[in-house]
A = this chain, B = another copy of it.
């Protein structure tokens, strides 16, 4: 696998995949069109008038989309029943803590062995400030939030393939300071050499030099970059005379920086959807799922697999299998809201039209892998003074090591040992849980000397191998976004679809929630007609 990985792994892959974690400014294909919004487009559920009294809605899946729908439709008087294949609610909104079990398809069972109080959000793990739909429910349900440190200029960048800066522990702050300092100096020189006289008036040139001197912290009349406090000191200021006011550190050379291409690991501004302020629920992402479950849990029939979906002019009928007893059963309703991932739905017996079935099959699901590593000591805090954020690396199959944004200064902590995607995720998923842990430890050891010695327990997931999920998120491309997507948004007859896959926020809880909001409005309209 190693060699396969080597050949399949390019710097471009790294940068491409790093974007999945948001540590860099690069974007996933699916994000190209996205932006940060000053106003949220969907900050509250739709205001629906009329009543759903006497109408039965069968909701397939107790993930965030299904539970959002049940919660909101219930307020309108609809009689909702949720069918959930898993023994718990939340879908991919999961948190692995002591006793949590997972068995991937064809894989061995894992039972999380972390200490009490330690956990990893192996599914969704971040809520950006502009996901007002998700934040609507954390606020309504009073789910306590804490800041998730998604940007840390004082974390580490460690690249194997960075020319003259390869295999060094670099700090993003130093890279930003030096690249912006050198480029500001270069542009200032162009201005002073009158090379921009055609572009800018004398006044504008004066204003630009003023800006560049600030942005690049250029010193002297000749506006040279000679380093800055923000890049880091070799010795910090302190008390008394020694170390006194601190000892400056030397900037990295411009040509060296250019040759290393490290400028691509950060962005001038964080791109949507990775922007701060970033949140996480205190105690684990599943606290959000549990908050929903507390309110609509009675409507959920657990460990019940959907085997078929049928509809006629009169209503919808769904057959299922109880995974405990193995017994089959059937439920009828006026409408059905199906939140089952398309990767799973495509294998369920339905009477959808061929066109609709083709659309269901059209979208690929992202192979995604994560591993949580419990460390008996927070060496990253104690020795490197890194508090949260991501360690960006091109080490094969790792993409990022992310440090916990909770339990500050506690003895132990669970870090994210890798967050891989596509090729690397597929390769990693071929390994056993123990092999994955070994892979992650060998890589992390190259960056942190105390890594392997501090390791206590691992828990990993390969979402594309997880039953009832079969992938991290729906990965639309331009073609099927234009053809299949609009068709699926319409649903078919009495069956409507909801979930992150029915949004432009794929892979995000906000996508599932906003999709549910949109589809219940459509269902309500259809039911009223």
Contact = CB atoms under 8 A, between A and B. Distances in A.
Interface of A: 25-27, 31, 33-42, 129-130, 132, 135, 138-139, 142, 144-147, 149, 151-154, 171, 173, 176-177, 179-181, 183-184, 186-187, 189-190, 193, 195-196, 199, 204, 207-208, 210-212, 214-217, 228-241, 243-249, 255, 258-259, 261, 263-264, 267-272, 275-277, 279, 385-389, 405, 408-409, 485-486, 489, 502-505, 510-511, 514-515, 517-518
B36 A173 contact: yes
Q: Which of A151, A229, A485 has the most CB of B within 10 A?
A: A229
Given A35-B248, A183-B187, A270 B230 contact: yes
B130 A211 contact: no
9 contacts: A25-B217, A36-B231, A37-B234, A139-B409, A183-B184, A217-B268, A230-B268, A236-B272, A277-B387
A230 B27 CA distance: 11
Contacts of A408: 144-146, 279
A261 B207 contact: yes
A214 B504 contact: no
Given A149-B276, A173-B269, A240-B503, 11 more contacts: A38-B154, A145-B408, A147-B149, A149-B277, A153-B269, A190-B190, A204-B255, A239-B505, A239-B518, A240-B515, A241-B489
A249 B39 CA distance: 12
Contact of A504 (B195, B215, B237, B270): B237
A409 B272 contact: no
A504 B238 contact: yes
B514 A259 contact: no
Contacts of A502: 239-240
A95 B173 CA distance: 32
A238 B268 contact: no
Contact of A268 (B38, B180, B240, B486): B180
A25 B239 contact: no
A479 to B, nearest CB: 15
A229 B34 contact: yes
B207 A196 contact: no
A25 B214 contact: yes
Given A268-B216, A276-B153, A239 B208 contact: no
Contacts of A515: 239-240
Nearest to A190: B190
B208 A36 contact: no
Nearest to A257: B211
Contact of A34 (B237, B239, B504): B237
A238 B154 contact: no
A96 to B, nearest CB: 23
A211 B246 CA distance: 31
Contacts of A511: 239
Contacts of A138: 409
Contacts of A33: 229, 237, 245-246
B129 A385 contact: yes
Nearest to A149: B277
A249 to B, nearest CB: 7
Given A173-B36, A385-B40, A408-B145, A504 B275 contact: no
Nearest to A142: B409
7 smallest CB-CB distances across A and B, nearest first, come from A37-B236, A35-B233, A230-B269, A35-B229, A33-B245, A239-B514, A147-B147
Nearest to A180: B268
A486 B241 contact: yes
B149 A146 contact: no
A263 B518 contact: no
Given A41-B235, A238-B505, A240-B489, A36 B275 contact: no
A269 B41 CA distance: 31
